[in-house]
Amino acid sequence: MNQETIQKAVEHVDLSNAKTIAEAANMILEDSAIKKGATVAVIDDPTYSMAGLQGKVTSLDKVGYAEVQMEDGTNVSLMINQLVLIK
């Protein structure tokens, strides 16, 4: 991610409007290294049953979600901020 993307993302943030905050965060995250074809892992979160599992990103959407094909072949839609890049 770069400074230009961050500045563009926060330009129209209204701190009293959660939607604008989420849109800015998603825009910044979409500029991260997580792209279609990347191998990712779900972040460690003891409250989430998929924590630590790995898969491959098959698609990204405009609202911060990635479609991930897990190692067992299951396709799951996950928020990009729940993923870390493996390779």
Q: Supply the CATH number for residue 71's domain.
A: 2.30.30.30
Q: Choose the weakest-confidence range: 2-6, 21-25, 63-67, 69-73.
A: 2-6
The per-residue pLDDT for 57 is 95
Domain count, the chain: 2
Q: What pLDDT shows up at residue 9? A: 85
Burial code of 36-74, b = ≥16 C-beta within 10 A, e = fewer? eebebbbeeeeeeebeebbbbbeebeeebbbbbeeeeee
15 or 25: which leads in pLDDT: 15
Shared domain for 27 and 40, answered yes or no, is no
pLDDT class of 31 with cuts at 50, 70, 90: low
Residue 70, domain extent: 35-87
Both 27 and 59 in one domain: the answer is no
pLDDT, tens digit, for every residue of 32-58? 668 899 999 998 766 777 888 999 999
**If you search the block for the tokens 């009293």, which residue do you land on?**
16
- Are 4 and 26 in a shared domain? yes
Name 12's Cβ contacts closer than 8 Å, sequence gap at least 6.
20, 24
